[in-house]
Amino acid sequence: MLAAANVLGWIVLGLWGIGPGLGAARLSAAESGSAALGAKPTAEQVEYFEQKVRPLLAARCYECHGEKKQESGLRLDSRATLLAGGDSGPVVDLAAPAKSPVLTAIAYMGDTQMPPTGKLPEEEIAVLRRWIEMGAPWPESGTTKPLTDDELFAHARASHWAFQPIAAPPLPAVKKPSLAARPIDRFVQARLDAANLVPSPAADRQTLIRRLSFDLVGLPPSPDEVDAFVADESPDAEARLVDRLLASPSYGERWGRHWLDVARYADTRGYAFGRERRFAYSYTYRDYVIRAFNGDLPYDRFVVEQLAADRLELGEDKRPLAALGFLTVGRHFDSQPDDMDERIDTVSRGLLGLTVGCARCHDHKYDPIPSEDYYSLYGVFASTKEPEELPIIGEPTELAAFEEYQTKLNALQKEFDDYLSARHAELLDSSRKRTPEYLAVVATKPAAMFRDRAFAQSLRADDIKPRLLERWRAYVAQRAKKDHAVFGPWRLLMDLDEAKFAAETPAVLERIAGDDKYNALVKSALAAEPPKSREDVGRVYGKLLADIYSKANEPNPPPGADELRKVMLADDAPTSIPRDQARDYLNRDEKNRLSELKRKIDTHQVKSRGAPPRAMMLVDAPQPFDPYVFVRGNQHRHGKKVPRQFLKVLAGDTRKPFAQGSGRLELAEAITADDNPLTARVIVNRVWMYHVGKPLVGTPSDFGLRSDPPTHPELLDYLALRLRSQGWSLKQLHREIVLSNTYRQQSADRPEAAAVDPENRLVWRMNRRRLEFEALRDSLAAAAGMLDLRQGGPPVDLVAKPFTTRRAVYGFIDRQDLPNLFRAFDFASPDQSTAQRPQTTVPQQALFLMNSPFVAEQAERFAARRDLAVNGSTTARIEAMYRALFGRMPTSQEATLGIEFVAAGPTPEQAWRRYAQALLMTNEFSFVD
């Protein structure tokens, strides 16, 4: 159940300072206030209280200010206690409602800010404000009771903005319609009008093309491109520029990198645990993402392929299988629960903007996400496995290298297979011969003990394998019915009281012997060695089955032998362990040897030039995993069983369990369904953020109850609906945003607007943005005329000499040893899904531009570019350098400073190199206006 204390554990009101001598006066003040202002509420007020206020108070307040607990002496479950206030005095002022301390606190307008964990949504603040302005009417029924778990869930789902259906908003009226080129502008201007603000003027053409070029392809425009755009006076000049940039292969590299942050992409697995630490084929996922963006793959299909490409009809082109890298390129642990948690977190935050991972050990403390829902998703991902051989999804580029690669791979694979097959055969033989030991334990230990870690560890001293023991327990439990031919006698004997076992056994054995439905060999074995305890029963059965196994190939078996052979040798027999699961049953030395052989294969695939591209995919396990809640997140303590299904808060009470294999395809379809309001909102919020510099929802990966409401909710829904109506096309979404007047605004500060909206939440100007690490590095290489625009393939080292000038998106990402350079420029952590990179200003950033050998090398090449040395003129060369870097001519002051700087150099060559690096160090080079 969804515990009330965990759903919304917020302190909404209270925690005012404690002051002496106030308690006695408080109640009389409340009584007099109630007497003076205690008129009976109207029917409309009662309805408002019951529908809006009562659920809000019960959900938000009573955890800390209810019948059982009163923080700072404040109780809020009746009108009398509300008016009485807390230890520091009244919190409601009915004479001047707007000055009520409670409203000041929840609006975050004073020193006391409640709840301290985050501001309430604006719509809930508005409900409380209106209620207090009414005089805080309260029905005569008195106190309000805390909501039940189901009521809390329903309230959260019905009241939180993010869970509401996406509605088509009407276009608002604005004061200056001529400034609104598109619906986006109407929504933005309506908020500006309400704040008595106006949009900033449009940026000039040079600024606009530089902004568009970096936004859409992550590279600066060339001087010729700038000149052509500035000179083009046709009304569709900007639209044609946008279309050209969106059609560029560089678009996918730019926007694919944004997605790789969300997908926590890296080229290493994290914790290697004896395996090769590098992924051999992670790059195929990166290349898939770039290809998907360039091809404008509909976003809903993009999501589905990343979760379940193997479940789709793909035709001859199998490259989409690489999409499953979304699930497999994350950090790897030596623990299935941790691996599954990592995937659940990436899927839920990356696609839905929900922190489902917070429900691993208990119900989510804030959002309506119970642990049952977490483990429903756990079951989906635990029902998958990585195939032993990854599928080839492309042709080798060098035939001779491929043949050499394949020959060595075959030899390494044979060594691995031979070792695993030998261990597997030994495992099957040993397990079957030791059946008496396993069944003796099954007969004497309760089922709950099999999940106890200490018990499992104690078994290893006798080389009893806990997994095999559990298989035997489940197998016998399923068949130990009184009418079962083999295990019916087991059931009858196990039902005896242990204390009276020896005395009651003869009668039971006599009954068994006279019943023809029971297996003849079982009856003979029990008669030959009458058991005196439950352990004896297990050993008699085990000895019989082991004997049957040892004689499995003998001709003319006695009656009843076929039934017993099935117990030992059928595909569903406990000891018929599949070969691909054999590793789980090996001892430590055997596992280490197997890991060593696997590492040789992985290392060969990483280092060989001839290795063809393969998809890092998943497939469904032969038998889906039926999940149950891990009590407090402990995999050894099993709680309630749950079906594989979607989140209740999004799917509602009528959701159906997933029935197709693991359920990944059904999960993907639920995530992209039209009745799921989150997926479209989450992605359009991020696209807006990448273009404008600030998201509409301030927490791009958390749309839960602690998130701030959107600054422009109607705009968010408008964009979400446009995305859906235009076939989930991200390129159309880009056009919608970047062709708006809102996007065209200048980025210059305006003091009068900043005084009203210092954070620019209303978008009265464009936000100036610093280039990310990748765009900065690519721009340095482009300035030098050395940028390598080849696409795809294995990763390259960005920090090793000789320096590569390939685009940074193709750089090698080591999640355990991320270069300091990456960290200095706020590169997204590859250990978790990241929608919004932090932005810091630290000395290392300037030091990189001043001292880095890479920057010095690019500066030297930039200075030596022949196309910049125009007629030997210093002034013309400075102008050419400015146009190449900034897309504009230098001012007269800048030109003069440049001439003086070059003239002061020890030699012309050194002077121009230093001047080139000085220009590369400017803020204008590193920022986009």
For residues 19 and 86, the answer to whether their CB atoms sit within 8 Å is: no
Distance (Å, rounded) from C-alpha 910 to C-alpha 894?
Answer: 20
Same domain, 385 and 317: yes
End residue of a domain, out of 671, 693, 711: 671
What is the structure's pLDDT at 811? 97
Distance (Å, rounded) from C-alpha 457 to C-alpha 461?
Answer: 7
* Tally of domains within the chain: 5
| pLDDT digits 0-9 by tens, 277-299 | 999 999 999 999 999 999 999 99
Q: Residue 433 pairs with which residues in a beta bridge?
A: none
> Is residue 65 a part of any domain in this protein?
yes
What is the structure's pLDDT at 119? 73
> CA Rg, the chain, in Å?
35
For residues 886 and 925, the answer to whether their CB atoms sit within 8 Å is: yes
> Is residue 582 a part of any domain in this protein?
no
**Positive or negative: CA dihedral 355, 359, 361, 365:** positive
> Is residue 218 a part of any domain in this protein?
yes
Same domain, 460 and 439: yes
Count other C-beta atoms under 10 Å from residue 699's C-beta.
17
End residue of a domain, out of 522, 551, 577: 577
Residues 6 or more apart in contact with residue 203 via CB below 8 angstroms = 211, 744, 745, 746, 747, 766, 929
> Is residue 180 a part of any domain in this protein?
no
Integer CA distances (angstroms), 591 to 422, 453, 574, 588, 873, in order: 13, 20, 21, 5, 71
Distance (Å, rounded) from C-alpha 870 to C-alpha 662?
Answer: 66
What is the structure's pLDDT at 204? 96
Nearest to 912 by CA among 884, 877, 885, 871: 877
End residue of a domain, out of 671, 686, 703: 671
Q: Residue 278 pairs with which residues in a beta bridge?
A: 268
What are the φ/ψ torsions at residue 162 (nearest 5 degrees)? -70, -25
> Is residue 600 a part of any domain in this protein?
no
> Is residue 40 a part of any domain in this protein?
yes
**Positive or negative: CA dihedral 568, 569, 570, 571:** positive
Structure-block tokens of residue 531: 């058991």
Integer CA distances (angstroms), 136 to 16, 75, 85, 128, in order: 20, 15, 13, 9
Residues 6 or more apart in contact with residue 53 via CB below 8 angstroms = 127, 128, 131
Q: How many residues does the chain have?
A: 929
Count other C-beta atoms under 10 Å from residue 67's C-beta.
14
> Is residue 259 a part of any domain in this protein?
no
Same domain, 289 and 309: yes
Structure-block tokens of residue 393: 């999804």
Same domain, 387 and 471: no
What is the structure's pLDDT at 329? 97
| pTM recorded for the entire structure | 0.82
DSSP class of residue 811 equals B
Same domain, 440 and 486: yes
Domain that holds residue 339: 265-393+620-671
Residue 342 carries which side chain, given as an amino acid letter? E
Same domain, 333 and 272: yes
Positions of the chain with pLDDT lower than 50, given as ranges = 1-37
For residues 307 and 346, the answer to whether their CB atoms sit within 8 Å is: no
Same domain, 30 and 155: yes
**Positive or negative: CA dihedral 100, 106, 110, 111:** positive
Distance (Å, rounded) from C-alpha 859 to C-alpha 783?
Answer: 8
Same domain, 783 and 810: yes
* Helices 908-920 + 843-851 axis angle, to 10: 150
Same domain, 227 and 141: no
Same domain, 307 and 375: yes
Structure-token match 């600066």, residue found: 220
What is the structure's pLDDT at 8? 33
For residues 358 and 6, the answer to whether their CB atoms sit within 8 Å is: no
> Is residue 812 a part of any domain in this protein?
yes
Same domain, 481 and 554: yes
Same domain, 754 and 803: no
**Residue 885 DSSP SS3:** helix
Residues 6 or more apart in contact with residue 341 via CB below 8 angstroms = 357, 360, 378
